[in-house]
Amino acid sequence: MDNHFISAISMTSREVAELTGKRHADVLRDIDRLLESLNADLRLGFKSSTYTDSTGKSNRQFILDRDSTYCLVAGYDANARMRIIKRWQELEAAVVTPTAPTINDPILAALVHGLVEIDRLKQQQVLITRKTEQLESRMEHVELQHRNGVPKGYLSRSQAHGLYGVGLSEKVFHLALQRLEVPTTPYIHHAEDGNEVATYGYLESDIAAAVQVFLDDAIQATRYMCESPLLEGKRFRYNKSTVTRPNPPQQ
């Protein structure tokens, strides 16, 4: 169970059931269906948890933040939604203006006030942290889409050849990286036409070094042809003296 989540303002699925007049089992069913339809970065406000009933049995429940609660009850009737809204207003008002006991001793009163203020700041920090996690998750999702699905730290086959395969044909370039066992990762390429294609990308930090090893071992057999022991003596079109190699990426 996420204690940081619980210390922030939250509402359990049991409270939702009580306020809306629904059976808790039905609320759990509604949450399960909702989670199936939400993207991963939008599920962060739903935390799976348990509670112990009067018989000592452990049962399922969810702990929800405000936005997730509103999303859940969006399809409920107007009275149920209004009860949820008013309850959230009460919870937020309690955090903004916490009720402190009347204490005559000024030193003790100052200490209590300080503890209340610390607790309020901790709750704000938890909320900020959770929002930051949500934003970071969404940013990663957007970045992945912008990169057409290529995972961070990797380059697609065409990107790798364009940046590090200067002067080499695509066939020779990819064959050399395969023989030198440059790490790869599978991913789904998101094409502009909407199609998705299973392919793989190269670990960018290893590409330049591998290409350099390949070319250093190659022998300039003729003015325009090299011979590679790595390719079992196969010749390929390349002139070492006329091609400027790109620098490897900075670590």
Q: Based on the domain organization, do 107 and 87 belong to the same domain? A: yes
Evaluate whether residue 160 is within a structural domain. yes
Question: Which of 108, 143, 178 finishes a domain?
Answer: 143
Evaluate whether residue 248 is within a structural domain. no
Q: Based on the domain organization, do 63 and 118 belong to the same domain? A: yes
Residue 70: pLDDT above 50?
yes
Evaluate whether residue 95 is within a structural domain. yes
Q: Based on the domain organization, do 46 and 137 belong to the same domain? A: yes
Q: Based on the domain organization, do 197 and 216 belong to the same domain? A: yes
Residue with tokens 């269906």: 33
| Most confident segment among 5-19, 134-148, 162-176 | 162-176
Question: Which of 97, 116, 143 finishes a domain?
Answer: 143
Evaluate whether residue 250 is within a structural domain. no
Q: What is the pLDDT of residues 179-207, one digit of tens each?
A: 999 999 998 887 767 678 899 999 999 99
Show Cβ contacts of residue 164 under 8 Å, excluding neighbours closer than 6 positions.
Answer: 173, 207, 208, 211, 246
Report the pLDDT value the prediction gives residue 7, as an integer from 0 to 100. Answer: 43
Q: Based on the domain organization, do 100 and 185 belong to the same domain? A: no
Q: Based on the domain organization, do 15 and 131 belong to the same domain? A: yes
Query: How would you classify residue 181: left for phi > 0, otherwise alpha for psi between -120 and 50, otherwise beta?
Result: left
160 touches 207 (CB < 8 A): yes
62 touches 46 (CB < 8 A): yes
Q: Based on the domain organization, do 129 and 231 belong to the same domain? A: no
Two structure tokens written together for 160 = 């790798």
Evaluate whether residue 135 is within a structural domain. yes
Mean pLDDT of 26-40: 91
Report the pLDDT value the prediction gives residue 11, as an integer from 0 to 100. Answer: 92
Domain with 60, as residue range(s), is 3-143
Query: What is the CB-side half-sphere exposure of residue 1 using CA atoms within 13 A?
Result: 11
The count of domains in the chain is: 2
Residue 145: pLDDT above 80?
no
Residue 4: pLDDT above 50?
no
Evaluate whether residue 174 is within a structural domain. yes
Evaluate whether residue 9 is within a structural domain. yes
Residue 175: pLDDT above 80?
yes
Handedness of CA 46, 48, 49, 54 (dihedral sign): positive
Interior CA angle at 25 toward 126 and 86, to 5°?
50
Report the pLDDT value the prediction gives residue 102, as an integer from 0 to 100. Answer: 59
For residues 34 and 75, what is the distance between their CA atoms, to the nearest angstrom? Answer: 11
Q: Based on the domain organization, do 137 and 14 belong to the same domain? A: yes
Question: Which of 143, 178, 196 finishes a domain?
Answer: 143
Q: Based on the domain organization, do 189 and 123 belong to the same domain? A: no
Range with lowest mean pLDDT among 109-123, 139-153, 177-191, 215-229: 139-153
pTM: 0.42
Handedness of CA 168, 169, 170, 174 (dihedral sign): negative
Q: Based on the domain organization, do 162 and 138 belong to the same domain? A: no
Give the neighbor-by-neighbor strand order of the sheet with 225-228.
219-220, 225-228, 234-237
Q: Based on the domain organization, do 138 and 19 belong to the same domain? A: yes
Residue 31: pLDDT above 70?
yes
For residues 106 and 109, what is the distance between their CA atoms, to the nearest angstrom? Answer: 5
